[in-house]
């Protein structure tokens, strides 16, 4: 083997490969540590507060809005473990309906939905909104579900979700929401008593606010 | 300078995988209704690497390739080149083309940051309030690029004064 004379620089190629490999390894290691740490934090990300874009538009003082319970998801049993409706197990599911109270008055009572644990009262809202937003000539006034309220930021509304029974209606859930908590669009409300969760929907009554954004 | 170079490695890695920008689609005051109706998507966040991957998946191979070259390959190559220069400097023999290569690579490693900055500015004119929100991964990427530029200048000055 031919000896290398003293002072002759080492061959560049092995040095380049070694340097390149260690640099790539270092970059991959840092990236891998971050990705591994992120994959272990799904609970914390789920608890993180929603970004402002997801919180929704606040109600405007003096404007009219239609408030409704779009969907109510009811627990399979009463909090005391009893069935919602008496009789055989085939008709033990509740017959939910809801009331909206505002300023001490009941301003809306929905129809009941028979024998369900997931009740929906707003099948008509979103398709009509979709038609409106895609240019069809349709007024939001055709949506009659829910209570029509005027936003007063100092006010609150009471929502009662009940199980329709012949003698005495069982209270599934009852809660109060301040107008400052309401947001345009859908918002989820967790239940504490007989309700797992409910989706509240708030729609501005005045279509002029939306016309600017309709093609 | 070797320590700073390793710091550049870490910041570049952070800038490549951490959130870089978020696309927020809005329709003005109708945003929430439109989102509830499924007409506009939820905000979507991308890192540099996931954005490049999304471009390839969508069939934008040319743009994805350009970003891959200038956002990933060039910055990594420059860091490797700076390490080689530093290594050669300690042995007292820097190959003639090495410094030129480092200088040439450093010119293009800020391209991605400029592209994203242009996107952010352009998004301010989008209708309905839609916008692109820069995230802190972009800052890490930009800091890595700036730090490596400074490192390159320092290496050049050191080798020139030693020569």
Q: Do A23 and B80 touch (CB under 8 A)?
A: yes
Residue A24 or residue A205, greater confidence? A24
Check CB contact under 8 Å for B42 and A133: no
Q: Please tell me which of the candidates A20, A29, A213 has its beta carbon nearest to residue B128.
A: A213
A53 neighbourhood in chain B, CB within 8 Å: 24, 26, 31, 43
- On chain B, the residues whose CB falls within 8 A of the CB of A34 are 13-14, 17-18
Mutation pick from A59, A187, A213 vs chain B, by most beta carbons of B within 10 Å, is A213
Report percent pLDDT > 70 for chain A.
68
Average pLDDT of span A80-91: 71
Question: Which of B21, B37, B151 is best to mutate for the A interface (most A CBs within 10 A)?
Answer: B37
Nearest-CA residue of chain B relative to A38? B18
Instruction: Work out the average pLDDT over A10-20.
Output: 70
Q: How does residue A46 score in pLDDT terms, banded at 50, 70 and 90?
A: very low
CB contact under 8 A, B13 and A27: yes
| Reported ipTM | 0.75
CB contact under 8 A, A20 and B42: no
pLDDT of res. B74: 85
Q: For residue A73, what pLDDT band results from cuts at 50, 70 and 90?
A: very high
pLDDT at position A121 over 50 = yes
Query: Residues of chain B whose pLDDT is less than 50?
Result: 163
Contact of A51 with chain B, judged by CB distance below 8 Å, is answered with: yes
pLDDT tens digits, A152-198: 989 999 999 999 988 888 899 999 999 999 987 778 899 999 999 99
B58 touching A (Cβ < 8 Å) = no
pLDDT higher than 50, residue A126: yes
Worst-scoring range by mean pLDDT, A119-123, A136-140, B14-18, B55-59? A136-140
A-chain residue closest to B38, CA distance = A130
B59 Ramachandran zone, left/alpha/beta (phi>0; psi -120 to 50)? left
In this prediction, residues A54-75 reach a mean pLDDT of 81
Residue A145 confidence (pLDDT): 73
Contact with chain A for residue B31, Cβ under 8 A: yes
What pLDDT, on the 0 to 100 scale, is given for residue B94? 67
Tell me the pLDDT of chain A averaged across its residues: 76
Residue A104: per-residue pLDDT: 93
pLDDT of residue A159: 95
Interchain CB contact of A128 with B (< 8 Å): no
List Cα–Cα distances, B130 to A115, B28, B138, in angstroms: 43, 8, 19
Alpha carbon distance B22, B116 (integer Å): 11
Q: Which residue has the higher pLDDT, A3 or B139?
A: B139
Mean pLDDT score, A122-130 = 56
Question: What local confidence, expressed as pLDDT, does residue A96 receive?
Answer: 94
Residue A79 pLDDT class (50, 70, 90 cuts): confident
Smallest Cβ distance to B76: which of A9, A27, A130?
A: A27
CB spacing of B13 vs A57 below 8 angstroms: no
- Provide mean pLDDT across the span A21-37: 88
Report, in angstroms and rounded to the nearest whole number, the Rg of chain A calculated over CA atoms.
Answer: 29
- For residue A157, the model assigns a pLDDT of 95
Higher pLDDT residue, A135 or B155? B155
pLDDT of residue A161: 95
pLDDT reading at A125 higher than 70: no
Distance spanning both ends of chain A, measured CA to CA: 81
Chain A / chain B CB contacts < 8 angstroms = 91
Give the model's pLDDT for residue B110: 65
List CB contacts of A30: < 8 A, sequence separation 6 or more: B9, B10, B13, B14
């Amino acid at each position: 083997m031919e000896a290398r004379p003293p002072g002759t620089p080492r061959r560049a190629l092995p040095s380049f490969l070694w340097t390149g490999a260690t640099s790539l390894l270092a970059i991959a290691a840092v990236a891998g540590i971050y990705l591994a740490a992120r994959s272990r934090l799904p609970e914390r990300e789920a608890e993180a507060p929603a970004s402002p874009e997801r919180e929704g538009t606040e109600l405007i003082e003096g404007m009219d809005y239609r408030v409704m319970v779009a969907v109510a998801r009811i627990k399979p049993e009463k909090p005391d473990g009893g069935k919602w409706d008496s009789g055989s197990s085939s008709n033990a599911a509740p017959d939910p309906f809801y009331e909206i109270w505002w300023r001490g008055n009941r301003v809306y009572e929905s129809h009941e939905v028979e024998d369900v644990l997931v009740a929906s009262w707003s099948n008509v809202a979103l398709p009509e909104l979709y038609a409106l937003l895609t240019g069809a000539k349709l007024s939001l006034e055709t949506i009659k579900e829910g209570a029509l309220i005027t936003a007063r930021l100092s006010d609150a509304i009471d929502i009662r979700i009940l199980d329709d029974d012949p003698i005495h209606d069982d209270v599934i859930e009852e809660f109060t929401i301040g107008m400052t908590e309401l947001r345009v669009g859908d918002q989820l409300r967790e239940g504490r008593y007989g309700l797992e969760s409910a989706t509240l929907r708030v729609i501005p009554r005045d279509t002029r606010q939306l016309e600017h954004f309709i093609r | 300078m070797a320590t700073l170079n390793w710091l550049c490695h870490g910041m570049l890695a952070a800038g490549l995988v951490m959130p870089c920008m978020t696309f927020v689609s809005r329709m003005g005051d109708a945003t929430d209704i439109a989102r509830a109706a499924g007409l506009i998507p939820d905000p979507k966040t991308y890192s540099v690497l996931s954005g490049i991957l999304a471009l390839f998946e969508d069939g934008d191979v040319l743009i994805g390739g350009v970003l891959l070259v200038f956002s990933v390959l060039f910055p990594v190559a420059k860091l490797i080149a700076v390490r080689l220069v530093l290594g050669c400097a300690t042995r007292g023999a820097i190959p003639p083309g090495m410094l030129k290569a480092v200088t040439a690579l450093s010119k293009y490693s800020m391209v991605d940051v400029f592209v994203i900055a242009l996107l952010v500015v352009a998004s301010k004119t989008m209708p309905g309030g839609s916008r692109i929100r820069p995230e802190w991964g972009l800052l890490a990427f930009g800091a890595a690029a700036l730090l490596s530029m400074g490192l390159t200048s320092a290496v050049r000055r050191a080798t020139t004064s030693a020569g």
